[in-house]
Structure 1
Amino acid sequence: MNHRTVSAFVVTLQIAFLLHFPLSAFAQTNGDALLTVGGKPVDKDELVYLISKGISTDAKTPGISREEFEENLELFINYKLKVREAEAMGLEKTEEFAREFASFKETLIYPYLIKNSLEEGELRKAYSRMQEVVRASHILFQFPPNASTEDSLIVLKMALKVKGEIENGGDINELAVQYSDDPSAKVNKGDLGYFTGLQMVQPFEDAAYTLQAGQVSDPVLTSFGYHIIKVQDRQPNPGQVRVSHILVRFDAKNPTAEENARRKIADIYTEIQKENTVWEDIVKTYSEDPATNQRGGLLPWFGVGSMIPEFEMGAFSLSEIGEVSPPLKTQYGYHILRLEEKKPIDSFEEMEENIRSRILRDSRSGMIQSQVVAIQKARYGYKEDEASVGRLAQALNSSSKENFAAAASSQSLDKAPLFTLQGRTYLLSDLIAYMDGEEISAKFTGGTFDVWFDRFSAEILAQTEEKDIESNNKEYQMLLKEYRDGILLFSLMNQEVWEKGITDSLGQAEFFRKNLDNYQWQNRIEAFLVKVLDPTQAENARKKLQGNGYDQSLIQSFEADYQTNATLAYHTESGVYEYAEHPVLSKIDPQLSYQEIEVDGSLYLVLTGQKIPAGPRKFEESRGLVIRDYQEYLDQSLTDSLKSKYPIQINPQVKEEAFLALNQ
């Protein structure tokens, strides 16, 4: 059972647990609770919350009528009776409940976490940037291996010097050939072509999207080094295109081969211009791309920043479906492109999950986590014992995880303080206990103490935030209670009603015997119905059926013939039917073995046979109905017994407050 099942189950109580009994039958109490169930109070907010979820926001009249309120209150009481019984049976103490509830909590709390709001902000920012494409050039200044602080300053000074040259009229593309440590600069002169959000490392993207066309950035630090960036152009995002192509390859080191490829692609382009030329045939004959030449050269959809710049610019320059580009050169060879389809950028809702997964895979995830920790520390009064932490780092960073506890003990460091959070001081012994419960992680950089201290403090802060939400966020409390009670309700109903109704064969038989009047056949008749779908085939059917009655061999012969020779001519059905309410058979003369009638504009040819008078069903013929009715009986019996077991008391004043709250 997933969380949607539980939620739907609770919200649709008026369907699943509609048990009618007057509220006036209940005693009343003067306490502050809306009601008590066997002495256990139930707050009005829970009723208001559940009913509110079921009120349509599209309703012409807001709120809820008095009659609807009374009905929902009855349903709510039935619901609470069953939850009370599930609690009394100890169903919330089972391993299955604990496992399922823990899984739900992990999902339910996510929208309320600081992390979620920060991620949502990044998602929206990324999508906003995706509305635009930026063309930029850059010069990269890398650090030498194992660079010192002095080395980093030297690289920064060089970047600033080159920036000055650009601002004094220097061409960034020519300077990229001279200075850039990006290997591709020798070919593209630092021109990165067009790109959009999430296609560059975050610091580079952040800088590029703050510049207008023609502006040059200060040195931008990324994991690659320092960059000087100049934005050449900014345009609305053209969306995505799908093209097919013809490719003629050549060896870039062989001028003769390149010239031959250029002539060949020119000849192919001339051939394409001829009337009655079939693109797919040309592709199959000439294209040297084995991955696409057997399927018309068709490539997958792509957007800006997904292909090499020359190919991309050629594709996006095409405007009409079927338009063919002049030959263009890339590092792979010469291409001719044909535009197959175009579409705008997808909506945020369509792209949300893809954007989220990309954000969580790049450096933004680390940035978000750092922001989360910083906010948590400020919100919950985190105070690190910097002096103690510094000493511990010096003493334990070189120890392995396996030897960490022994090293701490040998130096009598177990009681050394780490930080204080909400009045509690956490010690090194707490960190050691945490490390013992964690698997050895994949590769990490940094000293052992530093790495595990950061993990431990982040975990404690996350737990503190969850406890804070659970204690102080009313909406989350209601949602959590809904799912908790929903799981208990499902478990009780499954045990006492649904499974029992299916497996209790003796109970089913006894219920059937006592309620035999509910399982009666009406007058029935054997019938074969042929609905004529193709009027031109009506006479063929008439010739085969006219003058006959219901006969299995005739039916089989007719169906075999039309399914072989005229599959779409007829729709047939046969069997024994209660005909009084049947949409077709209710209109026939039961005394005629063959007849034709028209119903809702369709012609039916009908063969009839034996007429069976009304009478009792056999148990085997009614099993499905019996199981359904038996489960309803068990449900009603359970509720009736619980009303006796757990007295209900209602506070009329609080009840009225709940009604008013739903109509504000």
Structure 2
Amino acid sequence: MKKSALVLACSLAVAAVNAQPVFTFGKNSVSKTEFIRAFDKNPVNTPDRQKALKEYLDLYINFRLKVQAAYDAGLDKDQTQLYELQNFRRQIAENILNEKANLKELVKEAFIRSQKDIHLAHVFVEVPAKGDTAAAYKKIQEAYKALQQGKSFEAVAAEYSSDPGTIQSKGDLGFITVFTLPYEFENIAYNIKPNTYSAPVRTSLGYHIFKNKAERTPLGTRRVAQILIAFPPNGSEAEKTAAKRKADSVYNLIAKGQKFEDLVAQVSNDMSSNYSAGQLPEFGIGTYNPVFEQQAFALTNPNDITQPFATTYGYHILKLLEAKPIASDTKDDIFMAQLQEKVSKDGRLLQARKQMLDKQLSILKYKPAAYNQADLFAFTDSNVQKTTSKAVRTINEKSVLFSFGPKAILAGDWLKFVRAVNSTPNEFSGKDYPTLMKDYVRVTADEFYRDNLEKYSVEFDRQVKEFKDANLLFGIMDKQVWSKANEDTSGLKTYFSQNKAKYKWAPSADAIIVTCTSATIAEEVAQKLQGNLANWRTITDAYGTQVTADSGRYELSQLPIPDRTNFTAGLITAPLSNQSDGSTSFNLLVKIYRDADQRSFEDARGMVISDYQQVLEERWLAELKKKYPVKVNQAVVKTLK
């Protein structure tokens, strides 16, 4: 007991120290915790952390003073500031909500599933909208019993399925992988062991029995180009034969050396890919017709070409552009980023978000109100097509349906939602009112959660405040220092006059700096400029964007040249290559100034502005420290580490 009390006392003591202010400014204070957090966001590469913390103190004091000045100036109410903050807030809210919906776990799950392909089959009994569920349930149970009695899966699929496509294929869906099927189907498929089948399951489409016929190492993705010789969907044998002859003829031309790309433009009937030399988007299994995929994935080396083969669309000839294996390591950042993007756009994240919101309802203090549901739905039917509404028995627009803490959701709000659903087809369309009400609770919960996320996420609150302060700092610095210095021509000239000695030319030259997109062009331009200085602009302009040139006075140390000796007027310096973009630069020296020389105000203006900004900032900080007196708590500073 004494040990527990001691631990508690120590914990309280540490918390008290962390809560103590490192410094105060005016009526405001900054705690040790806040200060260290700010420091850790701007790490300094030094072994002496304590020394770095103390050096950072002055910088952070100045930062807080400037931000406070921005608040006092009302910049936080500026429309541009509010707009940028709202945009940032929306972006961060998405990240926080995805995190709470376990986006990382969904990406991990997708990675694990990507490591195998499953040959899937199913028995499918459709349940039409408002159809007979009992009859469909009875039929799927009969199919399940037949399987248990030893009847082959293919025979059962053909006999009991209600979908013509499933009957024709005897239930065979081919190989699938992650993202091939809707998430509810994928979850079932990846939880069936090889060569076994599931019990009957209900999905949004009807009843299914799924079978895992086999598994294999994933085939990855392919990029191919195609030539399509099409025939009508219900084409006659004569039309199909004619298409085959043409496809064989095209294949023979390719075999004799004619370019695949040229033939695409001449004969292919696939209008969607003709303008890209027949190239199709990168795809994995389960994307196209099984016959098409079988041919595409049989190609192994780039530029391999299939013989003509038929699908329901016509005869295809494929050329392999790239075969990409599936990454087998989560350390493959590019692959993991691609998975995350797919998960973010997939129904699985939406489903996870819905589940997360359902769990959050108690945190949001969701409370359903007492009202007559039949009256509400009668009120909805009576008013949904009208811009104004009339009360129906116990319900009017101000009737409370439910609330989140102090925020009440009214029947009028619900009416607007239903009108919006009916006016534009969307994910809520076609649902009955009780189901739609459940969706509406989630929609409003999501809106309320986002609007008040600071209350539910400490990290979100911090990020928003940090962005807001940083934006306010930029705004107040522009107002008090940067723009002020640029616009104060009189002050700049006075400062220049008082500090002329700071603004002198080192040894310099009037020069033309020429940059070319290649070394070959640079050599050609240099030859044309030799002895033809007066026409330098005409010569360089003739090369368009391949050559840029500018003239001015430059200090010799600033010129892009490999050798800084023997500077003479008329010299064209040796070319200097830029490894990053392959460009080449050289200089044409017009006049040399070998001695130091006083700069004019216009020549020095950029440097004067920079220095004058520093002067204005120092003056401003001195004023701020008078307005918000700063007191540093040295006792707390000594504990910084």
Give TM-score scaled by structure 2 length: 0.78
Aligned with 2:340 (options 352, 371, 374): 352
Change (3 A) 1:600 1:86: closer
CA contact (8 A) 2:561 2:576 kept: no
**SS of residue matched to 2:410:** helix
| d(CA) in 2 for partners of 1:396, 1:106 | 35
The aligned residue for residue 309 of structure 2 is: 328
**SS of residue matched to 2:421:** coil
Tell me which moved more, 456-465 or 348-357.
456-465
Change (3 A) 1:183 1:438: closer
Offset, 1:489: 1.7
The aligned residue for residue 613 of structure 2 is: 631
Aligned with 1:620 (options 602, 617, 631): 602
Aligned with 2:92 (options 108, 113, 123): 108
Offset, 1:144: 4.7
Aligned with 1:441 (options 420, 430, 434): 420
The aligned residue for residue 514 of structure 1 is: 498
The aligned residue for residue 448 of structure 2 is: 463
Q: Deviations over 1:81-128 (max 9, x none)?
A: 112222333333444444443443333344444774344433443343
**SS of residue matched to 2:462:** helix
Are 1:199 and 2:183 matched, yes or no? no
| d(CA) in 2 for partners of 1:509, 1:309 | 77
Aligned with 1:641 (options 614, 623, 628): 623
Change (3 A) 1:60 1:236: farther
The aligned residue for residue 125 of structure 1 is: 109
Q: Deviations over 1:449-476 (max 9, x none)?
A: 8746863575357636865x63475444
Aligned positions of 1:549-560 closer than 5 A: 554-557=532-535
| d(CA) in 1 for partners of 2:378, 2:514 | 90
Offset, 1:158: 0.3
The aligned residue for residue 35 of structure 1 is: 23
Offset, 1:369: 4.2
Q: Deviations over 1:597-646 (max 9, x none)?
A: 87999999976547586443332223322222222221121112112222
Q: Deviations over 1:143-199 (max 9, x none)?
A: 35532xxx2121111012122223434344344444433232354343222222233
The aligned residue for residue 39 of structure 2 is: 51
| d(CA) in 2 for partners of 1:585, 1:260 | 69
| d(CA) in 2 for partners of 1:539, 1:390 | 85
**SS of residue matched to 1:34:** strand
The aligned residue for residue 139 of structure 1 is: 123
Q: Deviations over 1:7-37 (max 9, x none)?
A: xxxxxxxxxxxxxxxxxxxxxx999322110
Tell me which moved more, 435-444 or 625-634.
435-444
Q: Deviations over 1:197-251 (max 9, x none)?
A: 2332232222122113322222232332222222223223322112233434445
CA contact (8 A) 1:399 1:407 kept: no
Q: Deviations over 1:410-440 (max 9, x none)?
A: 6377897755766x6x76xx52464588794
| d(CA) in 1 for partners of 2:397, 2:260 | 77
Aligned with 2:208 (options 218, 227, 233): 227
**SS of residue matched to 1:329:** strand
Change (3 A) 1:489 1:438: farther
**SS of residue matched to 1:302:** coil
Aligned with 1:495 (options 474, 479, 485): 479
CA contact (8 A) 1:135 1:193 kept: yes
> Which amino acid in 2 is paired with 1:619?
F
**SS of residue matched to 2:174:** strand
> Which amino acid in 2 is paired with 1:628?
S
Q: Deviations over 1:343-399 (max 9, x none)?
A: 134602134224312x2xx4x4653343123211344564545x6465654664544
Change (3 A) 1:514 1:453: farther
CA contact (8 A) 2:174 2:290 kept: yes
Higher relative contact order (CA 8 A, sep 6+): 1
Question: Structure 2, unaligned stretches of length 5 or more?
Answer: 1-16, 327-333, 423-428, 578-583
| d(CA) in 2 for partners of 1:188, 1:331 | 14
Offset, 1:540: 12
CA contact (8 A) 2:101 2:349 kept: no
Aligned positions of 1:164-313 closer than 5 A: 164-185=145-166, 187-250=168-231, 253-262=235-244, 265-266=247-248, 269=251, 276=257, 278-280=259-261, 287=268, 289=270, 297-313=278-294
Change (3 A) 1:536 1:418: closer
* Structure (1 or 2) with the larger CA radius of gyration: 1
Offset, 1:340: 2.2
Change (3 A) 1:520 1:310: same
Change (3 A) 1:229 1:635: same
Give TM-score scaled by structure 1 length: 0.76
Change (3 A) 1:154 1:607: closer
Offset, 1:131: 3.4
Change (3 A) 1:281 1:520: closer
**SS of residue matched to 1:199:** coil
CA contact (8 A) 1:110 1:116 kept: no
Cα RMSD after superposing both structures: 4.6
Tell me which moved more, 252-261 or 606-615.
606-615
CA contact (8 A) 2:508 2:556 kept: yes
| d(CA) in 2 for partners of 1:354, 1:317 | 26
CA contact (8 A) 1:283 1:296 kept: yes
